[in-house]
Amino acid sequence: MAEPSENQVHVNPNLHELVNGIGETPQQAQRLREQRDVNDVVHQMLILGLVLSTALMVFGLALDLFYQRVPPTQVPEVGDVVTRLLTLRPSGFLAAGLIVLIVTPVLRVVGSIFAFLYERDRLYAGITTLVLAIVLASLFLGRG
Amino acid sequence: MVTTLEIFLIGIGAGALGALLGIGGGVILIPLLTGLVGLPIKTAIGASIISVIATSSAAGAVYVGRGLTHTRLSMTLEIATTLGALAGGITAVLINPNLLAGIFGLVLLYVAHSLRGIKKDAEHVEPTGFLDTSYIDPLTGEQVKYGVHHFPLGMAASFVAGNVSGLLGIGGGVIKVPIMSLVMGLPMRAAIATSNFMIGITAATSALIYYQHGYIDPSIAIPTALGVLLGAQIGSRLGSRVQSHRLKQIFQVLLLLFAAQMFYRALTGGS
């Protein structure tokens, strides 16, 4: 099989190949592939979190409309959310939607730590762990 | 008493305008929620930060999918933005609301000023040997290779951007994008994508603080966030059909009015 020439344009139906291009050297190709893996994880987590939180919020508002009530002005205690969800209380769905939305970027960071570890990129696994530590610090320092 | 529907419509307006102008909805949303609806500024900030997370996650997913985001650079700068947001968020819940309004007014003036746009004759980007990466330009189909300049300065600017974001509930892209593009040598597309990517986790950091202090009011934050998400979709579709130069001028005037409202609030503590 002939080696593809340097000028040959490689168009792959795979969107990621298309946007990232193909590497010129095996090392570069490897790097691009690694980059793609982290990006894939991140991409899917963001979309999943967004869809789930939007669905919860819309459902919560619809329930409020159904019960002919105005939405609550305070979020319930985090521990209360599950009980309220199980009893189909609108406030439970609204709070769950907010929590999923806030937690989505945090889970994206957690996901990228694992993706970097999987690639044996210790430096970036460390950097993303530090980011996660700062976010968790805000969870504890930010208590009312 | 304002209805959920009215808040939702305000969200749509702010989201659409934000997307048209390429800035986040927060700088529009907060003055509308305080001025038009009469909400306390901290409640408006809490609602804004939620919609900032939503839009950043949506746009972030799109940009990452297109390979425009410099993921490694953004994850490194996130150390600075989240630290900034942590400090900003704690300050925001403790600080006097009138002072917060005053600071917001100043930031609005800065945004109005920065809307003149970044003039760059020809974008010159090159690999620097530091965090080099590449993407395929969606318009030309060419591979753009670039590296990062002045990284320490970028970290400092990211801290400031995160701090402002945590303090005022806005995304902070207005600070990061010019720095990344003009100082750090990122191509404009990559700067926007990378800045946007960082905003989600930065906003989540301060949202965790607001949430625990009761500044996230579901009856406001949720219709706002849903409205902004929808509005941003509309805005980015309208984008090509609207004369952006004219729109920018009108918007600059609007921002000055918003700033005046914030300064008035800062001095009088008005509703």
State residue A134's pLDDT score: 96
Give the mean model confidence (pLDDT) for residues A111-136: 92
Query: Are A46 and B60 a contacting pair at CB < 8 A?
Result: yes
Domain ranges of chain B: 4-268
Contact list, A58 vs chain B (CB under 8 Å): 226
Interface size A-B, in CB pairs within 8 Å, comes to 172
**Minimal-distance CA residue of chain B relative to A24:** B143
Query: Are B90 and A141 a contacting pair at CB < 8 A?
Result: yes
Amino acid (one-letter) located at B26: G
Minimum-distance CB partner of A131 among B201, B208, B214: B201
Residue B170: name the closest of B81, B99, B79, B65 by CA.
B81
Query: Is residue B133 helix, strand or coil?
Result: strand
* Residue A67's pLDDT band (cuts 50, 70, 90): confident
Complex ipTM? 0.90
Q: Would you tell me how many other CB atoms lie within 10 Å of the CB of residue A57?
A: 28
pTM metric for this prediction: 0.86
> A1 CA to chain B: closest CA distance, Å?
26
Digit-coded pLDDT (tens) for B68-93: 889 899 999 999 999 999 999 999 99
Write out the DSSP string of A86-116: HTT-HHHHHHHHHHHHHHHHHHHHHHHHHHH
For an interface test with B, which of A63, A102, A128, A130 has the most B Cβ atoms less than 10 Å from its Cβ?
A: A102
Q: HSE on the CB side for B31, CA within 13 Å?
A: 24
Query: Are A135 and B61 a contacting pair at CB < 8 A?
Result: no
Q: Please tell me the distance from the alpha carbon of residue A31 to that of residue A33, in angstroms, as a whole number.
A: 5
Digit-coded pLDDT (tens) for A5-16: 444 444 444 444
Digit-coded pLDDT (tens) for A76-99: 888 888 889 888 888 999 999 999
Minimum-distance CB partner of A42 among B71, B86, B136: B71
Query: Are A71 and B86 a contacting pair at CB < 8 A?
Result: no
Give the residues of chain B that fall short of pLDDT 50.
271
